[in-house]
Amino acid sequence: MRALSRDDLTAWLATQTVTLCAIPSVTRDEARLADYLMHRIPELSPGTKPIRHGNNVLVRCGTPGGPRIGLFGHTDTVPPTTDSAPCIDLDRRCVVGLGASDMKAGLAVMLRLVAESAALPVDLTCVFYDREEGPADENGLLLLCEQERDRLLQLDLCLVLEPTANRIEAGCSGSLHAQVAVHGKRAHSARPWLGQNALYAARPLLDKLAAATPQPVVVDGLVFHEVVSATQIATRNARNVIPDQVDLNLNVRFAPNRSVEDAQKWLLDFVGGLGTVEFVDAAPAGTVCTSHPWLSAFIKEHGLTVTAKQAWTDVARLTALGLPAVNLGPGDPEEAHRIGETCPLDTLAENHRLLRLLFARIASLPKPTP
């Protein structure tokens, strides 16, 4: 496929992003998008044969024998909040649509690189996977790490195109979810003095959560912020009943120098006697890999901004396999999951440019010694 001017490339990437946004792919409903990718990839790169596992799509292209690079992008989005159609807003110079930033813009860049794969100096593997926004144990990359483990373990470097506004965001925060039950005594709401309202009993824990402040933790020179938040609250009673139990979902985000077990112990100590804790979901933090020779050379040469990834991404899953991985995507992380989500047009072509420069730089360097 011929090279495009920057303006034409931006238009191509924006149009592709809108097309992807127009295909609904809320978590657990990614089949239509997987169908589209199975058709689109051979269309962009004739002779290229994508592999499908469930609603996960994997394709290998580029130069056989070159450095083995993996690009990763999840296909799912959070549920929609509006019914407005995705579009290109030329006045604001952005793509507007659910998933535009997180992370269908990244998928569009991956598809463009598939289209250009015959000219790439690397052996490229692109992985489009489902269910990233859902529970950790349903993540599609978890399935691929089992079914395509040998192929993935051959990769020399992995790039996750989560929204980073074209910064290198290294590592990622771990995530822990727990259901905390606070108990009371049930009674008729006409005679509340006969019971103990669990909602009121939860106030000491809620006050403690409200007073908790982000705790900065430095890992390999990058600042991660450890936080605990109440994200859901519910009771199990009728409207005319004093509740005897209130359930809170607490979410802890922890730095890469802490294990899941460390985070669980911290939360148990934090809650103390204010409630009963049941852990329901956990994902480990991702290792910071910016000291990898290929990455450090590229970062220094181009003066790229490097920050901590203050969120969970599949960098964690990849580094757990021993693969060097960082986040580098075109979307703005502050736009993720917002109403009227956008992705600036200029970031699309810039992400493509950075990846092409990185591929060229990698191809000129010796392979690091394991």
Other CB atoms closer than 10 Å to residue 223's CB: what's the count?
Answer: 12
pLDDT at 49 (0 to 100): 94
364 burial type by CB count under 10 A (0-12 exposed, 13-18 middle, 19+ buried): exposed
For tokens 């290198």, name the residue.
168
Which residues lie closer than 8 Å to 24 by C-beta, 6 or more apart?
32, 80
Distances (CA, A) of 41 to 80, 118, 159, 272, 289: 27, 13, 19, 53, 30
Question: What confidence tens digit (pLDDT) does each residue in 72-131 have?
Answer: 999 999 999 877 899 999 999 999 999 999 999 999 999 999 999 999 999 999 999 999
What residues are labeled active site?
Answer: 76, 132
Phi, psi dihedral angles at 151 (to 5 degrees): -65, -45
pLDDT at 2: 67
| CA–CA distance, 207 with 255 (Å, rounded to integer) | 24
SS3 283: strand
pLDDT at 370: 61
Backbone angles phi, psi at 229, to 5 degrees: -140, 145
Q: What is the pTM for the complete model shown?
A: 0.90
Residue pair 347/16 in contact by the 8 Å Cβ criterion: no
Using an 8 Å Cβ cutoff, are 231 and 250 in contact? yes
What is the separation, in whole angstroms, between the first and last Cα of the chain?
Answer: 35
What pLDDT score was predicted for residue 337?
87
What is residue 157's predicted lDDT score, i.e. its pLDDT? 96
Q: What is the DSSP string of 62-125?
A: E-TTS-EEEEEEE--BPPPS--PPPEEETTTTEEESTTIIIIIHHHHHHHHHHHTGGG-SSEEE
Pairing of the two strands 187-188 and 241-242:
antiparallel
43-52 in b/e burial notation, b at 16+ Cβ within 10 A? ebbeebebee
Extract the residue ranges of the chain whose pLDDT is less than 50: none
pLDDT reported for residue 369: 66
Residue 251 identity? N
- Give the pLDDT confidence score for residue 238 in this predicted structure: 95
Q: What is the pLDDT of residue 117?
A: 95
- Beta bridge pairs of residue 222: 219
Q: Which of 326, 321, 338 is CA-nearest to residue 81? A: 338
What is the spatial distance between Cα 56 and Cα 60, in angstroms, rounded to a whole number? 14
The model's pLDDT over 119-160, given as tens digits with 9 standing for 90+, comes to 999 999 999 999 999 888 899 999 899 899 999 999 999 999
Per-residue b or e along 262-289, where b marks 16 or more CB atoms closer than 10 Å to that residue's CB? ebbebbeebbeebbebeeebbbbbbbbb
C-alpha torsion sign, points 309, 317, 103, 6: positive
What is the rounded distance in angstroms from the CA atom of residue 313 to the CA atom of residue 320? 12
pLDDT given for residue 1 in this prediction: 61
Give yes or no for a contact between 321 and 145, defined as CB atoms under 8 angstroms apart.
yes
